[in-house]
Amino acid sequence: MAYTNIDDPSAHFQALTYTGNGSNPRNLTNDGNSDLKPDLIWGKSRGTNIDHQLYDSSRGFGTSKGLQSNSTATESGQTTYGYISASLTDGFTAAAGGTNGDWFNRNNDPFVAWQWKANGGTTASNTDGNITSTVQSNQDAGFSIVTYTGNGSNNQTIGHGLGVQPSWWVVKNRSGGSTNWLVGASSILGGTSNYLKLNDNSANTEYNNIWGDSPTSSTLFRVSNVSHLNTNGSNYVAYLFANKQGYSKFGSYVGNGSNSGPFIYTGFKPAFVMMKRTDYTGNWVMFDDKRDPSNVVYHRLFPNLTNAESTSRDYIDLLSNGIKYRGYWPDHNKSGGTYIYMAFAENPFVTSTGIPTTAR
């Protein structure tokens, strides 16, 4: 059996960095080995204190489809500061609002856009669960986008289309008032009662069976009847991910409080890493290989904050087969602290034909 089925991760995930030029509209083109028509686009200004912006091809693109990872707000109109108007064959189109294009193309401002492929925007109805969902799934890369309408009942099942048990998922109420982005990872966080909030820095929280009364399965995930997950008549979006050898990894580690921090084996050279302390308060932190094309990696952004990019305190190395943590800042390496992480590959450690990757 081959080590991995994904020899070129850029066909499924890419980070793009660029400098805004103020034009309207502006087509942004990816620069990976493969063309990538993104189905989930997560963009952020690196130089300005401004919201993160998430768009996906299941909900559609345009002025009323923006979600912000740092906010409890529902889908909102971006008629003032700009939006993503389309996904392209190898990138996306940024459009200005009535005032300017600050969200994605502010003149002279540096930006980053993280992008994932699902199924090219083609969705299907899924009736595997108690709640019928609309799914587009990339089973090869372990990623699916799920939309559904809540029914207000407890312990409800929803089809996700991954074909394997999800390792990590995040759910957002799109229409039902101010609600948190809830992150689930039963095998990592400790069970069906544990969750994190993507939009704030709180620790691993326990709420009785918030993810239903049993673990997720290869076809379903569960939700309880809380407003964040299943209010009757509210519309939701969920992004679900599964471990794929040589491409994606979701796990946990314990900090050692040393400048020579723990090494996390991923089985690939990471292109993107996001982590969060779980036993205490601490910001989510994001790194990638485009903002730092060589080690040490130190440009960081925070999904739960509007803050511009920071270059202080937190440092990591992206190695040929994993992540090496540097420094002892509590956000990623407090002695005895517990952390959750997600990572996606630039290259597998070994390709399907046995070719090893090179170090940075």
The 10s digit of each residue's pLDDT in 295-308 is 999 999 999 999 99
Question: H helices then E strands: how many in the chain?
Answer: 3, 24
- What percentage of the chain has pLDDT greater than the value 70? 97
CA dist., res. 319 & res. 324, Å (int): 7
pLDDT at position 78 is: 65
Mean pLDDT of the chain: 94
Using an 8 Å Cβ cutoff, are 307 and 69 in contact? no
Using the predicted structure, report yes or no on whether residue 36 has a pLDDT greater than 70: yes
- Could you please report the per-residue DSSP string of 128-156? SSSB-EEEEEETTTTEEEEEEE----SSE
User: Which amino acid, one-letter code, is at 246?
Assistant: G
Provide the H-helix boundaries in the chain.
Answer: 102-105, 186-189, 330-333
Classified as helix, coil or strand, 21 is: coil
Q: Mean pLDDT throughout 65-77?
A: 91
What are the sequence ranges of the domains in the chain?
9-116, 124-241, 248-348
Q: Grade residue 100 by pLDDT with cuts at 50, 70 and 90.
A: low
pTM score: 0.97
Using the predicted structure, report yes or no on whether residue 356 has a pLDDT greater than 90: no
Tell me the per-residue pLDDT of 117-163, one tens digit each, with 9 for 90 and over: 999 999 999 999 999 999 999 999 999 999 999 999 999 999 999 99
CA distances to 175, 275, 315, 321 from 288, rounded to whole Å, are: 31, 12, 12, 15
Torsion of CA 155, 55, 58, 129, to 10 degrees: -10
